[in-house]
Structure 1
Amino acid sequence: MDAHRIDVLIKVLKERSMKAEQLFSKYSYGRQGIMKLTLEAVRQGNRMGVINVKLGEGILEEEFKKLTS
């Protein structure tokens, strides 16, 4: 493998790593928001709110799986 190919490979790997980091930070941010919503719903005794948050969490999990596969 020549030096140019190695440089290109390194560049591609760095870009993929950055994309993975961005995905993870978006996912983490979304999870934090969901946790806050859940806590607030529990505090208010809102069972439907908790159920809706759980549904949202499932959707977030599915989106993350799609993006990372």
Structure 2
Amino acid sequence: MAPASWRPPLENMIKINCDGAFNANDMSAASRWLASVSSALVAEVEAYRDGLQMIQTVGARDVILETDLAQLVSL
């Protein structure tokens, strides 16, 4: 599988790229500061949730959400 490359959104659309980070050694994560995160999936879900909240806050309608974690996409 070839790595995906970023593509700009279509005209009049907003594109949000969601990504979380997770360190298994000390159980820390970031999409924002998160305490007690247990996995990369949880960090990614939190980042995705932050993106959804931002969409709701600005009242956007034509939105593309992207993530790089296949496990999240398959949920």
**Normalised-by-shorter TM-score class:** 0.3 to 0.5
Whichever structure has more helix as a proportion of its residues is 1
Whichever structure has more strand as a proportion of its residues is 2
TM-score between the two structures when normalised by the length of structure 1: 0.40
TM-score between the two structures when normalised by the length of structure 2: 0.38
